[in-house]
Amino acid sequence: DIQMTQSPASLSASVGETVTITCRASENIYSYLAWYQQKQGKSPQLLVYNAKTLAEGVPSRFSGSGSGTQFSLKINSLQPEDFGSYYCQHHYGTPFTFGSGTKLEIK
Partner 1 sequence: EVMLVESGGGLVKPGGSLKLSCAASGFTFSSYAMSWVRQTPEKRLEWVATISSGGSYTYYPDSVKGRFTISRDNAKNTLYLQMSSLRSEDTAMYYCARQGGGDAMDYWGQGTSVTVSS
Which residues bind to partner 1, rule: CB under 8 A?
A: 1, 32, 34, 36, 42-46, 49-50, 53, 55, 85, 87, 89, 91, 93-98, 100-101
Q: Of 16 and 95, which CB lies nearer to partner 1 in the complex structure?
A: 95
Q: How far is the CB of 18 from partner 1 (least distance, A)?
A: 24
Question: Residue 96: in which H helix or E strand, if any?
Answer: none
- DSSP at 43: -
Question: What torsion, rounded to 10 degrees, do the Cα atoms 9, 51, 53, 57 define?
Answer: -20
Q: How far is the CB of 43 from partner 1 (least distance, A)?
A: 4
Q: Of 13 and 54, which CB lies nearer to partner 1 in the complex structure?
A: 54
Q: Of 16 and 93, which CB lies nearer to partner 1 in the complex structure?
A: 93
Transcribe 16-40 into DSSP letters: T--EEEEEEESS--TT-EEEEEE-T
Task: Answer whether 96's CB lies under 8 Å from 88's CB.
Answer: no
Q: Of 14 and 43, which CB lies nearer to partner 1 in the complex structure?
A: 43
Q: How far is the CB of 15 from partner 1 (least distance, A)?
A: 24
Q: How far is the CB of 44 from partner 1 (least distance, A)?
A: 6
Nearest alpha-carbon partner for 101 in 2, 13, 11: 11
